[in-house]
Amino acid sequence: MPPINTNWPLLASIESPQDVRKLNQQQLKELAHQLRDFLLDTVSTTGGHLSAGLGTIELTIALHHVFNTPYDRITWDVGHQTYPHKILTGRREKMSTLRQKGGIAGFPKRSESEYDTFGAGHSSTSIASALGMSIAAKQKNENRHCVAVIGDGAMTAGMAFEALNHAGDCDANLLVILNDNDMSISPNVGALSNHLTRLLSGDLFSTLREGGKKVLENIPPALELARRTEEHVKGMVTPGTLFEELGFHYFGPVDGHDLDTLVPVLQNINQQTGPRLLHIKTVKGKGYSRAEDAPIKYHGVSAFDLNTGKSHVSASATKPPPSYTEIFGQWLCDMAEQDERLIAITPAMREGSGLVEFSKRFPKRYFDVGIAEQHAVTLAAGMACEDMKPVVAIYSTFLQRGYDQLIHDVAIQNLPVVFAIDRAGIVGADGPTHTGAYDITFLRCIPNMVVMTPADEAECRGLLTTAFLHDGPSAVRYPRGSATGLTLSDKLEALPFGQAVQKRQGKKVALLVFGSLLTTAMEVAEEIDASVYSMRFVKPLDTKTIQQAIAQHDLLVTIEDNAIAGGAGSSVSEHINAQHLNTNLLQIGFPDEFINHGQPDELHSDWALDKPGMLKTIRARIKELLI
């Protein structure tokens, strides 16, 4: 990376937002230019989320220029767009460590900076958290501004509207900035719209509005007429009627890349109180043509060449095995060919969950519900009531948001909904908000639920078929990344329900593996001559195989990429205790801690889930038992 003081001298002078507040309008524009160049240089080197941050350069500068951060609070939704914020708030020199073990996080993190007022990672939390801060400030008689930045995609979640509804009802001193970058809400932005917003946010309009209310407050019919007239006049030139009905003063839309408009509008709005919403239009990937043309492709990137856009990841001479996500996507299309009742549902994760091909081949049977996990689950339940066969493709970490619906709407009614759970276990650089460490624990305690953990692509395809044919709720969990490279059959064959399979015969130790750590377990078994079982099912548990393993071995070791607390190993322990079986049990999995960000192999090593770690743990127990 070139020296920052040479290539980006103005940015080099910014140590905190206090320095941003000293700049004039022309300097702010130059800062935006340098910040954009620096962000491109950094992320192309480290990898990370790119498009979102490029789209919020000017907004970030304007916010820190106008508001007195960190005393004034800014909460960022999801957090993909916060790299510019990190750079301007004292973490510029640490950007080379972005999302790396021991480096700065890819999302806002309260323990990392006082400017990160609220941790993020999942969407649609910014309005509620900023509202909570606003109410707390009022309780403490603190005259601080609270600002929530939220994208139009995150506004599809019910949680965002719940917060808007509450904010309007309690007349909170809150500013919501709607960052609209997908043309999903607003018409085109132009000079007229910018001019009107500056007028509507200014002192003259506010004075006239408040003064008019005072004059008419003793004439209720006239006051109501004036209110409705104002709404209809604004409704002719702005799309904010919905927000006005929720109790917000709406301003916009304005060009979110035009600092000459954005700064004075924020300064005007800053002088007002109550619930306000500023609607800005931005371009994802702004300033880098490849990202502007393909914002989804450049949403999250590995290190790449800025000139060509090509990844620095070296091309392998042989084609890598397909990912588990790709295995699922192919299975889904194959099963849809056989059964026209199959419906695929995703909460805004078409690409990530492997549904691109399905969406093209079966568009009438594909439903992207937006960032609305709760709705996705209950939507599937409704379909299952009418003899359809819904498959909900969802990340482990996002299924947590639909937990009530999973229990109440699916499991209690014993409906045949399949949950294809991607990103189970360690995901790497996205850190604790995206690690799939808890799904076995929170799923296996639900009555009627079947929970399956394939160890390779063949088991993944077979267990997905098993789940689809099962007349009740079921879940198949699989990790991020490449599978093992097995040659797959085109057939769709279910695996024996509730049955494990033995992979290796050994002596005194039996490894009971739940999921994709089987390959590592097989390597460990070779070192200690252990038996290995791919358990496949967490629920129903193959108790017959467990009892046979107990009879033939002195030590049972359960292995899973899930929290030990309440996980698959716990289910084995519960069975042993319930049956009063006499055996020694060792559980290997995630400890009672959040998994930080880093490369998957580093994290597996940290938590003793790699070969050396497992060997050390098992040998220590063998030594204790003297077997």
Average pLDDT over residues 322-328: 95
Per the model's pLDDT, the better-predicted residue between 189 and 594 turns out to be 594
pLDDT(86) > 50: yes
Strongest mean pLDDT among 2-16, 187-201, 319-333 = 319-333
Task: Please give the mean pLDDT across all residues of the chain.
Answer: 90
- For residue 436, list its beta bridge partners: 425
Match 């973490």 to its residue by tokens.
91
What is the maximal distance between C-alpha atoms in the chain? 91
Q: Please work out, in degrees rounded to the nearest 5, the angle formed at the alpha carbon of residue 146 by the alpha carbons of 398 and 93.
A: 70
Q: Which of 99, 286, 401, 611 is catalytic?
A: 401
Residues 547-579 pLDDT 10s: 999 999 999 999 999 999 999 999 999 999 999
CA distances from 500 to 205, 513, 525 (A): 72, 10, 17
- For residue 276, list its beta bridge partners: 175, 249
Q: Supply 615's token pair.
A: 């060997």
pLDDT band (50, 70, 90) for residue 388? very high
pLDDT of residue 262: 96
Residues 148-195 pLDDT 10s: 999 988 888 888 989 999 998 888 899 999 999 874 444 445 665 565
pLDDT of residue 530: 97
pLDDT(225) > 80: no
Task: List strand residue ranges (DSSP E) for 412-497, in order.
Answer: 418-422, 450-452, 474-477
* 4-301 has CATH 3.40.50.970 classification: yes
pLDDT(235) > 70: no
pLDDT of residue 199: 57
CATH entry, 503-625, from 3.40.50.920, 3.40.50.620, 3.40.50.300, 3.40.50.2300: 3.40.50.920
pLDDT(221) > 80: no
Beta strand 531-534 pairing with 509-514: parallel
pLDDT of residue 186: 43
What share of the chain in percent tops pLDDT 90? 72
CA distances from 523 to 367, 509, 555 (A): 42, 14, 18
> Coil, strand, or helix at residue 58?
helix
Q: 201 with 268: CB under 8 angstroms? A: yes
Main-chain phi, psi angles of 494, to 5 degrees: -75, 150
pLDDT band (50, 70, 90) for residue 227? low
Q: Please work out, in degrees rounded to the nearest 5, the angle formed at the alpha carbon of residue 276 by the alpha carbons of 275 and 280.
A: 150
Q: Which of 58, 244, 373, 457 is catalytic?
A: 373
Q: 554 with 509: CB under 8 angstroms? A: yes
Burial letters 404-440, b for 16+ CB under 10 A, else e:
ebbbebbbeeebbbbbbbbbbbbbbbbbbbbbbbbbb
Nearest to 421 by CA among 545, 319, 561: 561
Match 């192919």 to its residue by tokens.
330
Q: Supply 579's token pair.
A: 């049956």
Average pLDDT over residues 2-16: 85
Task: List strand residue ranges (DSSP E) for 186-270, in order.
Answer: 249-255
pLDDT of residue 244: 87
pLDDT(498) > 90: yes
Average pLDDT over residues 38-66: 93
Contacts of 414 (CB under 8 A, 6+ apart): 448, 472, 473
pLDDT of residue 218: 54
Domain parsing of the chain, residue ranges:
4-301, 324-477, 503-625
Q: Which of 73, 281, 284, 286 is catalytic?
A: 284
pLDDT of residue 297: 85
Nearest to 294 by CA among 371, 351, 372: 351
Per the model's pLDDT, the better-predicted residue between 603 and 222 turns out to be 603
Whether 93 sits among the annotated catalytic residues: the reply is no
Q: Please work out, in degrees rounded to the nearest 5, the angle formed at the alpha carbon of residue 475 by the alpha carbons of 470 and 481.
A: 130
pLDDT band (50, 70, 90) for residue 245? confident
Average pLDDT over residues 422-435: 92
Main-chain phi, psi angles of 337, to 5 degrees: -65, -35
Nearest to 299 by CA among 369, 352, 346, 353: 352
Task: List strand residue ranges (DSSP E) for 219-338, in order.
Answer: 249-255, 275-281, 300-301
In angstroms, the CA 550 to CA 556 distance is: 7
Q: Residue 501 is inside which H or E element, if any?
A: strand 501-504
Q: Residue 46 is inside which H or E element, if any?
A: helix 25-46
Whether 373 sits among the annotated catalytic residues: the reply is yes
Whether 112 sits among the annotated catalytic residues: the reply is no
pLDDT band (50, 70, 90) for residue 300? confident
pLDDT of residue 187: 45
Average pLDDT over residues 235-261: 82
Residues 136-151 pLDDT 10s: 999 999 999 999 999 9
Q: Look up the pTM and report it.
A: 0.85
Residues 444-497 pLDDT 10s: 999 999 999 999 999 999 999 999 999 999 999 999 988 888 888 889 999 999
pLDDT of residue 320: 83
Rg (CA), the chain: 27
pLDDT of residue 26: 97
Average pLDDT over residues 11-29: 96
The CATH class of 324-477 is: alpha beta
pLDDT band (50, 70, 90) for residue 204? low
Q: What is the DSSP string of 247-271?
A: TPEEEEEEETT-HHHHHHHHHHHHT
pLDDT(215) > 50: no
Least confident of 45-54, 304-313, 421-430, 598-607: 304-313
Long-range contacts for 127-131 (Cβ within 8 Å, ≥24 apart)?
A: 127/77, 127/160, 127/163, 127/164, 127/167, 127/174, 127/176, 128/159, 128/160, 128/162, 128/163, 128/166, 129/75, 130/73, 130/75, 130/174, 130/176, 131/163, 131/166, 131/167, 131/172, 131/174
CB atoms under 10 Å from CB of 363, counted, come to 8
Average pLDDT over residues 366-384: 95
In angstroms, the CA 376 to CA 8 distance is: 46
pLDDT of residue 519: 96
Do the domains 4-301 and 324-477 sit in the same CATH topology, yes or no?
yes
